[in-house]
Amino acid sequence: MNKILAVGSLAFDTISTPAGKAEKALGGSLNYFSISASFFTGLQIVGVVGEDFPKTHLDFLSKRAIDIRGVQVMPGKTFHWTGEYGADLNEAVTLSTQLNVFEHFNPKIPDEYRDAEYVFLGNIAPELQMCVLDQVRKPKLIALDSMNFWITGRRDALVNVLPKIDLLTINEGEAKLLAGESNVVVAAEKILLMGPKAVVIKRGEYGAFLFFGNEIFSCPAVPIRRVVDPTGAGDTFAGGLLGYLASEGAGLDRKSLRQAVLHGAVMASFTVEDFSFHRLQRLEKGEIHARFHSLVETTKV
């Protein structure tokens, strides 16, 4: 089994959507990513939580073959994000961001993690993403996710790390912001010139694009009848994508990447069906296979 070393945020989310409200639900990019990927492979995670973070949740992660020795528990409170979604479920509005212990996060990679073949640099400061890369030995595949906040505020640091990664996963709007370009195809092509060998553009309910080797793959989204909460969909997507690649021991090749992106779309479609990762908690492997096959059916000519 090829394990994934993943770094990102562990957080509380307070969210309201047209379907309801969740107060201080468990969230964070690393949480969604690792629970999603754990359906495919083992993980070693690095993050930080405050003393208020429930021990039961860390136990839950451990039971899913997620190695939590890299999770630091620091004096203070856990990162807490508050946001809401209106009728347009594709876009969250941030109401407050309390970084708390996450503000001084300094990812230390335990020695037993440093030989990981697959590395996921979740949505944290690009300087910290670089600092993780300095600590790993010889990964086979490095994936990175980022967001508006870093693209705008830490552009140079982000641009420095892009040539060192293999695969970038990014939202459509963020891709346009990063490339300074309003057309999504041109934006992706410009980003490829910035370093990553493959770029996956996440388009919410409209699916995803994979740009790799002069080819574009159009990945549809799973048609969902009721979206309850889109929070974490992007990280769940990345978890399915990288989890699939790691479980296959795959590198960057056309077929593996296309299959991986479809698995990302499938995993994301479950997350949005409930608040927090409640849907992932009750998800069974057979449901993943069934939804994967029906998603592929929606594209057959």
Applying CB under 8 A, which residues contact its own copies?
Answer: 18, 87, 182-186, 203, 205-207, 209, 215-218, 220-221, 223-227, 255, 258-259, 262, 296-301
For residue 20, the minimal CB distance to its own copies (Å) is: 15
Sign of the CA dihedral with 260 first, then 266, 272, and 276 last: negative
For residue 218, the minimal CB distance to its own copies (Å) is: 3
For residue 188, the minimal CB distance to its own copies (Å) is: 9
For residue 84, the minimal CB distance to its own copies (Å) is: 16
Question: Cβ closer to its own copies: 82 or 256?
Answer: 256
* Strand pairing report for 141-145 and 167-171: parallel
The C-alpha angle with vertex 44 and arms to 42 and 48, in degrees rounded to 5, equals 140
The residue type of 60 is F
The answer to whether the beta carbons of residues 195 and 254 sit under 8 Å apart is no
Determine whether 183 is exposed, middle or buried from the number of CB atoms within 10 Å of its CB (0-12, 13-18, 19+): exposed
The neighbour count for residue 23, using CB atoms within 10 Å, is 11
Give Cα separations from 213 to 137, 183, 204 (angstroms): 26, 19, 23
Place of tokens 């057959």: 300
For residue 297, the minimal CB distance to its own copies (Å) is: 7
Question: Cβ closer to its own copies: 62 or 183?
Answer: 183
For residue 296, the minimal CB distance to its own copies (Å) is: 6
CA distance 17 to 171: 20
The answer to whether the beta carbons of residues 6 and 120 sit under 8 Å apart is yes
CA distance 114 to 67: 13
Question: Cβ closer to its own copies: 193 or 301?
Answer: 301
The residue type of 194 is M
Question: Cβ closer to its own copies: 86 or 249?
Answer: 86
Question: Cβ closer to its own copies: 5 or 199?
Answer: 199
For residue 131, the minimal CB distance to its own copies (Å) is: 36
Beta bridge partner(s), residue 17 = 20
Question: Cβ closer to its own copies: 61 or 187?
Answer: 187
The answer to whether the beta carbons of residues 97 and 13 sit under 8 Å apart is no
For residue 94, the minimal CB distance to its own copies (Å) is: 22
The residue type of 81 is W
The C-alpha angle with vertex 107 and arms to 29 and 275, in degrees rounded to 5, equals 15
Question: Cβ closer to its own copies: 93 or 296?
Answer: 296
Question: Cβ closer to its own copies: 111 or 297?
Answer: 297
Which of these, 241, 248, 240, 236, lies nearest to 273 by C-alpha position? 236
